[in-house]
Amino acid sequence: MSYEKELIEKFKKRDALVGIIGLGYVGLPLMLRYVEEGYKVLGIDIDQEKVDQLNDGMSYIEHISSESILSAVHNKQFRATSDFSEAQKPDALILCVPTPLNKYREPDLSFVLNTTDALTPYMRKGQILSLESTTYPGTTVEELLPRLEGADFTVGEDAFLVYSPEREDPANPDFETRTIPKVCGGHTPTCLKAGIALYDSVIDTVVPVSSTAAAEMTKLLENIHRAVNIGLVNEMKIVADRMGIDIHEVINAASTKPFGFTPYYPGPGLGGHCIPIDPFYLTWKAREYGLHTRFIELAGEINAYMPRFVVDKVSDALNQRGKALKGSRVLVLGIAYKKNVDDMRESPSVELMERLQKKGVLVDYSDPHVPTFPKMREHYFDLSSIELTPERIADYDCVLLATDHNAFNYPMIIEHAQLLVDTRGQYSEPADNLVKA
């Protein structure tokens, strides 16, 4: 039996051992999905603290329960390790590692490449390697393929290479890992067949495409579409604000049109691990072909400007009340990148806090999902979340609503705030202490 047929047969019988490298917001939900379908999963992560927590049945992500992880560990369906030599054991190796930007806003593939380099010495014939991290078209073929071939694999015969972009949306009540269609592209037709077998038993719908590059471009189009439309509505917000028009009222009215309009909502900036980053992967790669992606880059400029716009609004609002920005006390509400999650990746709230602090503001924050400001690669505040009470709210010169968690008591906040700056359109009725940004 060929390696391809043997691998596909293992997945049909659920006898395959699945390896997931990178146990974060993408890797953990995927692990649980395989466990739910009866697979055994080996998780690999370089962070020994995370490995120890998982093996003790503890979750470090708010919307993933410790009970689900503990059950998987107790049933011997899941084990975590930091030892890459164990990569020879799984039948599939799924890479769920970060792809950030460097300080020049260029793609940083170090996590993907270092992880692949750590795996290939231990890989064996008959395995499938799937990259799920967002990246520019060509990465799988230009970077991963040579590494497999350099390890004496014949890709498409004794090893299989696919790209299948993650589509996780943490805390979205309408979709889960199983119900979100999975795009998959293979380096060869046999690679694609293996990729479909890898995902078909745990995802309701697998969407095959002609190549890994097509799958890579698909992921970028999805997120660039959102980034460009958010850039448009952010620019509309700036214009509407200058004209004294409530952009949220306009969006709600436009949304009544039953065709030809999709609502997007403005905010204090872009956050998350995809939308603020992915467009730059394509603009960078496009230069190789002599192309300048003006439309995408313009949206990026507008979205990157929004934190400065918000800080200016805070400054103007304080000034109108006879207070200087420097020396003022500002309470930022919500520092996760979106509502009802604990995910801090690329959160615009962090940039707001840094901009305010640089201008001499005494900054605090309140976020029921982030009790202590986490260690981040480029940002850090020695702060813990402030519990909201009427007295504490009234004690600040300005309360800045940056992330509109459902847990906030919005009537109480506006009742007691000296000044409330709303970046999310939470408050529709005008008030003397309310400024929309």
Q: Indicate which residues carry an active-site annotation.
A: 274
Conformation bin of residue 266: beta by default, left when phi > 0, alpha when psi is -120 to 50? beta
User: Are 268 and 306 spatial neighbours (Cβ–Cβ below 8 Å)?
Assistant: yes
Strands (E), 45-117: 78-81, 92-95
Q: How many Å apart are CA 285 and CA 289, to the nearest integer?
A: 7
What is the 3-state secondary structure of 167-220? CCCCCCCCCCCCCCCEEEEECCHHHHHHHHHHHHCCCCCEEEECCHHHHHHHHH
From the list 1, 139, 3, the residue with the least C-alpha distance to 130 is 139
Q: Report strand pairing: 206-209 vs 182-186.
A: parallel
Encode burial over 115-142: b for 16+ CB neighbours within 10 A, e otherwise. bbeebbebbeebbbbbbbbbbbbebbbe
CA–CA dist 194, 8 (Å, integer): 6
Which residue, 26, 64, 65, is CA-closest to 43?
Answer: 26
Q: What does the block give as tokens for 247?
A: 């952009």
